[in-house]
Amino acid sequence: MSTISSAPAGSTIHSAAVAASISNSSVGTYAHPEVLVDVAWAKANLTNPSVKFVEVDVDTKAYDVGHIPRAVALNWQTELQDQVRRDIIGRDQFEELLSRKGIANHDTVVLYGDNNNWFAAYAFWLFKHYGHEDVRLLNGGRVKWLAGESLPLTPERPNIQLTRYRVVGVNESLRARLTDVIEVARGEPGYRKANLVDVRSSDEFTGKVIAPPGMTETAQRAGHVPGAASVPWAKAVNADGTFKSAIELKRLYLEEAKVNAEKPTIAYCRIGERSSHTWFVLKYLLGLPHVRNYDGSWTEYGSVIGVPIER
């Protein structure tokens, strides 16, 4: 298996050349196979200075026990969320964070994490929101790495060389806001201007529960956005956490859920992490042209006075 050619730290490697190094027949039919790497590719690039591995979890407890060598940790709660208002971290915060983690603009960033890459997919969405060119997911995430044979783990944190990361542009088209969702919800059934995909569990969608058991951050009301299709996120992955084939994903979303590929699509969940996983599937694996993640999701929508709700 070919790998990214080793280059001195700080050198620029063109993304097309990096993409060409991936050899993974299981993702060959995806719209953008270059955004996924398998564990064999990751293992072959463990010492490549132009590849930065990043573990993204809801916290760093699992990372502290053992992680991919040279990987840095991102804490979803404290590092990717603004700690004052409910929002993603701002542009300046993102630049400071990546600089502190030793990530440069030209680096190939490989994200992975727990919960079948929920939070890694959220970080992928955030990286793309802030315009990072070459970012990928490790297919199967932390679980797939742990299940592999002869794949190293270490509890040691890497020595980080600080960088001066700079955001070159913000892509707001990847993010849906409350007003966008309300506009779709109030549209005439059958003529709504966008697809809505609710990726929560069936019990959350129907309003039987407001949030999964044990979750403290909830909405005021249960139910779903009118017109939303219910496609729980887990239907998109295999038992080992890897993504299902393109044929299976097309059947799931385009045929069974009747997602209209000609229309824009908005994915949502409870707090935006599960929906970022589905956003990744729809945009990069199926290649739908206009897909947005509604990170406000049900905790925002379900608490707003006067918005339409169905059960």
Q: Which residues are catalytic?
A: 269
> Long-range contacts of range 85-90, CB-CB < 8 Å, 24 or more positions apart?
86/300, 88/126, 88/129, 88/295, 89/126
HEC per residue, 211-280:
CCCCCCCCCCCCCECCCCEECCHHHHECCCCCECCHHHHHHHHHHHCCCCCCCCEEEECCCCHHHHHHHH
Q: Strand, helix or coil at 86?
A: coil
Chain Cα centroid distance, residue 213: 23
C-alpha to C-alpha distances, 273 to 68, 121, 288, nearest whole angstrom: 22, 7, 19
Distance CA 46, CA 304 (A): 47
Question: Going edge to edge, which strands form the sheet with 195-198?
Answer: 229-230, 195-198, 265-268, 291-293
- Rounded to an integer, what is the distance from CA 19 to the centroid of its chain? 19
Angle between helices 118-129 and 273-280 (to 10 degrees): 70
